[in-house]
Amino acid sequence: MVSRRALRLLFATLLVASVAGLAYGAATAPTTASADSVPRPEPRDGHTVVTESAKFGTIVAWRPNGSLLHYGDAHTKYFDVDPVEGESLTVEYAATDTIHTSGPTCESPPCTRNVIERLNLSTGETREIYARYDDSELAAEWHDHVRVGDERILIADIVDDQVFVVNTTTELVEWRWDAQSDFPVEGGGPYPEDWAHINDVSLLDDGRVAVSLRNQDQVVFLDRETGLVENWTLGSDGDHATLYEQHNPDYIPPERGGPAAVVADSENGRIVEYQRVDPETGNATTAADGVWRRTWQWQDARIQWPRDADRLPNGNTLIADTHGKRVLEVDPQGEVVWSVPVSHPYDVERLETGGESAGGESAARLGLESRTADRSTESGFDPLEPLSDLVSLVVPSRVVNGVIFLSPVWMGRPEFAAALLGIGTVLAWVGAEVRWRLPEFGVRWPVYREK
């Protein structure tokens, strides 16, 4: 029988290990709290731009040699960023400001101001394109926008569960699609607090609009005259084997090996690609009777809640791994060939490849190798990795991601595992001490049979 002293020593050891793990995580976590603290990556072809949507709301741009080109933190959160065609080192992004004080633009704080801005990364010159106030903070953001000509932009609006085209000169909405026109409010997330959570919109070359409904686990395709394109929807509400609260689907057209879509399958902790194929022949097709078939998948032991993935023209895939706290590039064999630590990345762009890397080809055409390895493909030793792997097996990803999202900026899955170990150890130790201090007593049944 194990002695009380031995058990106390075990509890103390586990508690020290937990505290040490948290301290290690806090000391080694990447930070973008200031321009001076931004990590400098290894050189890479082209300029790389990253946005952060929480913890530290920033937009960061690196030159090809890895030096810092631009650092901005004027807004509470930054979301999708895209290069401006024909303008060197110029981007447009969606950003959010949270208003905490009562005033003429916010009667009952907190409120939200959403803004689309254009930024010259070389000079720092910023120009507001369009903005709007919303009377809440919860799920009240614009996560994405697309330029539609010189005077019009297409916006993904989370608070009103819609996408719309607005004329930035007249500020008149010229086209709108409301998710309620095609989906029941009984599905998805809680209505009206955060029902559809439309987090991405794309304007395709053929004029259709692709929309990511995160809380319905699906990507839909719209005709701007007739509405939802039947039989083209990728995923379905609750079908987590296909998609689970995805972000930033990147559509690849037929001329580049599609129709296909590279998707950050966030809650499943992976990057996936689906190809539109003929159900009988398996060949790529644009026909109405086509089906989506998964043709590529990438993940490693570290990836946690990725929220962007773009196929680059060189065949590599550029990824924003939010709770893995890194931006990385993987080659066609699935190996990490470039990586930089970032506190809380949302979107990543390689400017010279066009918006969402317009020159990238499909996995089917490139013959990409899927990777579902348990090990990380990056070098380096993480002493908490075994415990982190155990937590990922027993704790649902939504719980882990929810805790990390609300925790200090240095909290990741390894630190979550260390905290869970510490909490469990304290509860077990307290329970044991209480039990040891209780008097010994027996239990006698009130009814018994005489012999």
Which residues, listed in sequence order, are joined to residue 71 by a DSSP beta bridge?
A: 60
**DSSP structure string for 343-370:** SSEEEEEEGGGTTTTTT---HHHHTPPP
Q: Taking the CB of residue 12, how many other CB atoms lie within 10 A of it?
A: 12
Cα separation of 264 and 266, whole Å?
5
User: What is the CATH architecture of 30-378?
Assistant: 7 Propeller (2.130)
Position 204 scores a pLDDT of 96
Instruction: Kindly report, as residue ranges, where domains of CATH 2.130.10.10 are found in the chain.
Output: 30-378
Position 450 scores a pLDDT of 60
Cα separation of 153 and 263, whole Å?
23
Q: Which two tokens stand for residue 63?
A: 């030159």
What is residue 406's three-state secondary structure?
helix
Which one-letter amino acid corresponds to residue 313? P
How buried is residue 5: exposed, middle or buried, by Cβ count under 10 Å (0-12/13-18/19+)? exposed
Counts for the chain of helices (H) and strands (E), in that order: 5, 26
Which residues lie below 8 Å from residue 307, measured CB to CB, with a gap of 6+?
Answer: 247, 248, 264, 266, 320, 322, 345, 346, 347
Position 445 scores a pLDDT of 58
Cα separation of 429 and 10, whole Å?
10
- pLDDT per residue of the chain (451 residues) written in tens, 0 to 9: 778 899 999 999 999 999 998 998 899 888 999 999 999 999 999 999 999 998 789 999 999 999 999 999 999 999 999 999 999 999 999 999 999 999 999 999 999 999 999 999 999 999 999 999 999 998 999 999 999 999 999 999 999 999 999 999 999 999 999 999 999 999 999 999 999 999 999 999 999 999 999 999 999 999 999 999 989 999 999 999 999 999 999 999 999 999 999 999 999 999 999 999 999 999 999 998 999 999 999 999 899 999 999 999 999 999 999 999 999 999 999 999 999 999 999 999 999 998 777 889 999 999 998 988 655 556 555 666 666 777 777 888 889 999 999 898 889 888 898 999 999 999 999 999 998 888 765 556 555 556 5
What is residue 217's three-state secondary structure?
coil
CA distances from 380 to 78, 305, 321 (A): 30, 21, 17
Position 244 scores a pLDDT of 98
Cα separation of 404 and 399, whole Å?
9
Classify 177 in phi/psi space as left (phi over 0), alpha (psi -120 to 50) or beta. beta
Cα separation of 116 and 156, whole Å?
12
